[in-house]
A and B are shown apart, each in its own frame.
Chain A
C-alpha cells in the first residue's frame, strides 16, 4: 500500500482515483488467492486468469505487490493484489495501463 504522504488531500487538493480497497482473501501458503469475501460470503476462486508483480520505489518506501486477475466461482472477475510490505490484500478495479500495454506487447 502506498504510504500517506501527509499532504493535504480531500476537497481542496487532489483526490486519487482508483485507490485500493481492503479485501478479505483466503490464500494458500504460497500466497495465491483461494477465496474472496464478497458481500459477506466467501466466494471460491475458480481460476487465476493472470498474475504479475510490481516492485517499485525500493529506494524510499518500497512497494511490493503481487497482482492476480481472478475469476470467482460466481462468474465475477476481480483484480486483487497482496501488499507484501504490509501483508494485506486489496482489490483494484483494473491493472495499471502501463502494465496492460507491456503484457500485450510481450
Chain B
C-alpha cells in the first residue's frame, strides 16, 4: 500500500462502510457476521499500516475537504493516536468474534453490528480529531452508539443502567460544550494546535484555568474518575458480556485519551495547579475503586469496580507529568485494555458454563477446565501486577516515575491498590475456580473442556488471542515501551504538534 494523506481518514471510513453494509443486511445474520468480521480485519490492517507510517514520519496530518488549518477540520495521528487506534482495532476485532456467539439473534436483528461499528468509528474519530469541537462531536457519536448497545435487547436491568449512564453522559457533554465555547471565546479558535499556540503566548489569562476545569469535569465523568465514577458500576454489569467487554476496553479509555491530549497540549500553563488536582483525583480513584471491588460478590461488578481503580493509574501518569510517567500511562492503557477486556470475556465463558457469575453460586471450575483457569490466571495476575506479566511493567514504570519526582504519597496508594487488586483476583480464583464444583443448575451446562472448545470456539478464541497479547507484552516489554516512550516524547513537546499542523 502506498501512503497518501487521505489514509488518515480510513479508521473512520472503514467502520462507517461496515456499519452501513450491516444496516443494509440487517435481516440476514450470516451476511452481517461475514461483513462485520471482514470490516474489523480491514481496520486492523489499516491501523498497523498507519502505526508503521507514523513511526517513519513522526506525525500524520490531513485537512478535511482541503480547508487549511486553523479554519478547517484538522485530523492528526501522532504516535499516541496511532497506538490507540491499533489497540482499539484489535479489541474491536476480538470482541467481534466473541459477539458472533454471545449476542442473541434478536439483538442482531435490531442492528447490533451496525452500532458496534459506529461505536468504533466514534472512538477512532476521538483519537484522530485535531479540533476540540470535532472531538466533542466524536464523543457524541460514540455515546449515542453506546446508548443503543447498552439498551438493545430491552432487559429491565439494562434499561435502569442505561438511564443512569445516559443522564450522566448528557451532563458531561453539556459541560464539555460550555468548555469548548469558552475556549473559542478566549482564543478565537477551535483548532487544537492554534489554541495551544495562543495559550503559550497568553499564559497569564486566568480564564484558561477555568476552561481547563470545564474540560476536566466531562472527561473525568467519561473516564470514571473519583468522585464522578458512580455511573460505571451501575451500568456496566447489565448488558451482554460482549458489550461490557467492548465498553471496558474502549469507552473509559477514550476519556483518558482526551485527558492526556488536552492536559499535555492545551492546559500546561499552570501545571502546579491543574496536574495536582489530577494527581489527587488519581489517588482517590485508585483507592475507592479497589475498595468498592473488595466489597462485591459478583464477577461482573468486581471487574467493573476494577476498571475505576485502573483508570486511577493512567491518570496518575498524567498527574506526575514527566516523560517517563506519560510513557508509563500509555503503556498502562494498552496493558489494561488487553487484560481487562479479557477478564470480561472470560466472565462470559464462565457464565456459559455455570449459568451465573455470582461468586456464591459457582465453584470448582479448575477441576474440569484447567486451560480456561490458566487463561483467567494470566489476565488476573497481569491486572494485579505480578511479574513477568504486562501489569508488572506498567506499574513498575509508573512507580519509578513517581520516585523520580518524589511524590511518595501516591506511590504508597498505588502499591496498596496493587495489593488489594491481587486480593480481589484471588477472591474470584478461590470462589469460582477452586472449591467444590457447584453451579446454578444441577450440572454444568458444558461438561468438560474439549466440548467447550468445540461448541464455543468463537468465545474461547478471543480469550486466547487476548491472553497471548498480554503474555507477549509481559515477556517483551521493550517493544511496547519503545512506542510508548516515542508517544510520550511527542506529547511532552507540544511544539512538534503545533509545527506539524500549522507549519510554524
The answer to whether A and B interact is no
Task: Give the interface of A toward B (CB within 8 A).
Answer: none
Task: Give the interface of B toward A (CB within 8 A).
Answer: none
